[in-house]
Amino acid sequence: MNDSVISSVSKLILSSDEVIQNYLTNYSIKLPNVFFLALTFCVSFVYLWRKQLLNYPPGPISLPFIGNLDFFKSKSYIRIANLKEIYGDIFSLKAGKWDVVVVCSKEGIIEGLTDPDNNFDGRPDFLAFHNLFMGNRQLGISTADLDLKTQVKKEYIIQSLISHWNPEPGQGQLSYSIEKLIVKEILSLMCFFINEEGAFDPAECFKFAHLHIMMSLLFEDAYDVDDPITHEIYDCLENRKDAMNVKLYNYFPILKTIYKQKISQLEERNALLTRYHRILLNQHKDTYNPTELRDFVDQLLIFIETGNDRELFDSDDMDSLILELAGCGFSSVPALLTWLMGYMAVFPDIQTKMQKEMDQVVGRDRFPTLADQPFLPYTMAVIFEVQRNVTLFPFLHPHRAIKNCEFLGYNIPKNTVMLFSVWSLHHDKKLWKNPSKFDPCRFLDSSGRLTIPEHFIPFGLGERRCPGEALVDMEVYLFFTHIMHQLNVRAEGTILNLESDYRLAIQPKPFKIRISSRED
């Protein structure tokens, strides 16, 4: 045992000794109490000893069986990031049954996410992940470990999005542009906003708009916002979001029985949705024309037909791919759009500056388009600064060490849950001047050109990076510029307090704003 182990253990023994003395003088000895004290002492001793002996990252002593309470409290991403001040840029925690290692430094995060052996590209074996995909988390993308099938599924998403970009009729190309589809959705949303009297919370409207875009991408025009099935899908996606978020159940599988009802409700809804999707999939198979692809489902059919799936996809994979795609971005895209509205209401000067930029570049006679994007650096900087400040996924999605390995001088055992604290990275004083200040200009150089530092990674990095990034960029840019070009967003009353709520993604707590036409 090295010196630091001996000193930590002797400190522990000394402090435990004082506690026992105090206890014995103040209270009578009761057998269960003594037993509990002895157990806590032994668990702490073994924990400390094991950590040092194994050259495991340092960290706070955890409660037996429960782990570190910070993990389960509100704003856990801030509480946990603050632990780096005590334990350094890489530290360990215990959360229920899982050993967790948190990485906070820029170098550590980049190294871990781009590890050439993909040592940290597994996903934890959370029970909820299995419930999302018919009892087998490997059927999903975000829940599966990284293997060839997961990589091919991501390739399919990226390829489908690329062909939406520059649609040209012909083999493997979509016949319409995603820009048009999104703009159609935005125009009907803006009509709704204009007609809304008084202050309101825009969050739900963004959720339905995004859902409708995802469903239209998948199944052309099979769904209408007013269809009862759209509401079924919405409820199912809310259920799936909740399931991803149930920390207690993922970390304490023993609580499975408490969540029994929720789980069976989720499974029923998944099954119902999959049945609907299969009907649409079969209709697509009957009517599909490879030279005129209508949507992502047609694209999936040609992907398989041309062998791009390396013959890895079976019908369960197709079901789960469609199910996952329908819900992609459901918790994040509307949250980001709502945050943008909230920030504009809180910072009217920034809103005005951005509107001036748009008026100069776009004019007042037409709507902004994707082609205008390179000429709107300040507007883009506002979007990026909201993304940095909020950091929707403060730990990305949880990663898992797939084998015992060495990392940043420590030994990381197989199955350790790896949390890459992008929140900490996006608020690091060494990397960002005054990081808590909302300042879009930090994304502009001295000539006003957009500049994106390598430590800005809201979509992650490496093999597990978000495949939907290009879609999100396009969707958020189009929604935001259309709304800001046409409408003014104002706070209800004089002060708007933006508060966050960490549920899967960092959502804004409900708030109300007033929206009016800029022409009024």
Q: Which residues belong to the annotated binding site for heme?
A: 466
Structure tokens at 74: 């509100």
Q: Which of 51, 94, 464, 485 binds ligand HEM (CB under 6 A)?
A: 464
Q: Where do we find the tokens 């409660």?
A: 63
Q: Which residues contact 136 (CB under 8 A, 6 or more apart)?
A: 130, 316
User: What minimum distance in Å lies between the beta carbon of 467 and ligand HEM?
Assistant: 5
**Nearest CB to ligand HEM, comparing residues 157 and 323:** 157
Site for ligand HEM in 146-185 (CB under 6 A): 154, 157
User: What minimum distance in Å lies between the beta carbon of 198 and ligand HEM?
Assistant: 28
Comparing CA positions, the residue from 388, 394, 339, 419 lying closest to residue 504 is 394
What string of DSSP letters covers 64-90?
TTTB-GGGGSTTHHHHHHHTHHHH-SE
Q: Which of 458, 474, 485, 508 binds ligand HEM (CB under 6 A)?
A: 458
The helix/strand/coil state of 479 is helix
Q: Is 499 left (phi over 0), alpha (psi -120 to 50) or beta?
A: beta
Burial 165-176 (b: 16+ CB within 10 A, else e): eebeeeebbbbe
> What mask, x for binding ligand HEM by CB under 6 A, covers residues 339 to 378?
----------------------------------------
What string of DSSP letters covers 252-298?
-GGGGGGGHHHHHHHHHHHHHHHHHHHHHHHHHHHH--TTSB-SHHH
Number of residues forming the site for ligand HEM (CB under 6 A): 23
User: What minimum distance in Å lies between the beta carbon of 465 and ligand HEM?
Assistant: 6
**Nearest CB to ligand HEM, comparing residues 247 and 397:** 397
**Nearest CB to ligand HEM, comparing residues 471 and 487:** 471
Q: In this structure, are residues 435 and 456 in contact, taking their beta carbons and an 8 Å threshold?
A: no
The helix/strand/coil state of 299 is helix
**Nearest CB to ligand HEM, comparing residues 262 and 465:** 465
Q: Which of 95, 203, 222, 396 binds ligand HEM (CB under 6 A)?
A: 396
The helix/strand/coil state of 506 is strand
The yes or no reply on residue 491 touching ligand HEM (CB under 6 A) is no
**Nearest CB to ligand HEM, comparing residues 392 and 491:** 392
∠504-74-78 over CA atoms, to 5°? 85
The yes or no reply on residue 467 touching ligand HEM (CB under 6 A) is yes
Q: Which of 202, 368, 460, 508 binds ligand HEM (CB under 6 A)?
A: 460
Q: Which residues contact 461 (CB under 8 A, 6 or more apart)?
A: 109, 110, 113, 114
The yes or no reply on residue 278 touching ligand HEM (CB under 6 A) is no
Q: Which region, judged by CB under 6 A, interacts with ligand HEM, from 25-33, 82-90, 351-359, 391-399? A: 391-399
Comparing CA positions, the residue from 187, 203, 202 lying closest to residue 515 is 202
User: What minimum distance in Å lies between the beta carbon of 74 and ligand HEM?
Assistant: 21
**Nearest CB to ligand HEM, comparing residues 166 and 446:** 166
Q: Which of 126, 378, 459, 480 binds ligand HEM (CB under 6 A)?
A: 459
Residue closest to ligand HEM (Cβ): 468
State how far the Cα of 89 lies from the Cα of 108, in Å rounded to an integer.
8
DSSP-derived letter for residue 370 is G
User: What minimum distance in Å lies between the beta carbon of 47 and ligand HEM?
Assistant: 28
User: What minimum distance in Å lies between the beta carbon of 399 and ligand HEM?
Assistant: 6
> What mask, x for binding ligand HEM by CB under 6 A, covers residues 203 to 242?
----------------------------------------
DSSP-derived letter for residue 60 is P
Q: Which of 102, 181, 392, 513 binds ligand HEM (CB under 6 A)?
A: 392
The yes or no reply on residue 397 touching ligand HEM (CB under 6 A) is yes
3-state secondary structure 134-154: CCCHHHCCCCCCCCHHHHHHH
User: What minimum distance in Å lies between the beta carbon of 377 and ligand HEM?
Assistant: 20
User: What minimum distance in Å lies between the beta carbon of 509 and ligand HEM?
Assistant: 18
State how far the Cα of 267 lies from the Cα of 253, in Å rounded to an integer.
18
The yes or no reply on residue 101 touching ligand HEM (CB under 6 A) is no
Q: Which residues are annotated binding-site positions?
A: 466
Q: Which region, judged by CB under 6 A, interacts with ligand HEM, from 43-51, 282-290, 345-353, 458-466? A: 458-466
Helix (H) / strand (E) containing 100:
strand 98-103
> How many Å is the Cα radius of gyration of the chain?
25
Structure tokens at 100: 């967790």
Q: Which region, judged by CB under 6 A, interacts with ligand HEM, from 228-236, 279-287, 338-346, 461-469? A: 461-469
The yes or no reply on residue 137 touching ligand HEM (CB under 6 A) is no
Bridge pairing between strands 90-95 and 410-412: unpaired
Site for ligand HEM in 307-346 (CB under 6 A): 328-329, 332-333, 336
The yes or no reply on residue 466 touching ligand HEM (CB under 6 A) is yes
Residues near ligand HEM (CB under 6 A): 141-142, 154, 157, 328-329, 332-333, 336, 392-393, 396-397, 458-460, 464-468, 471-472
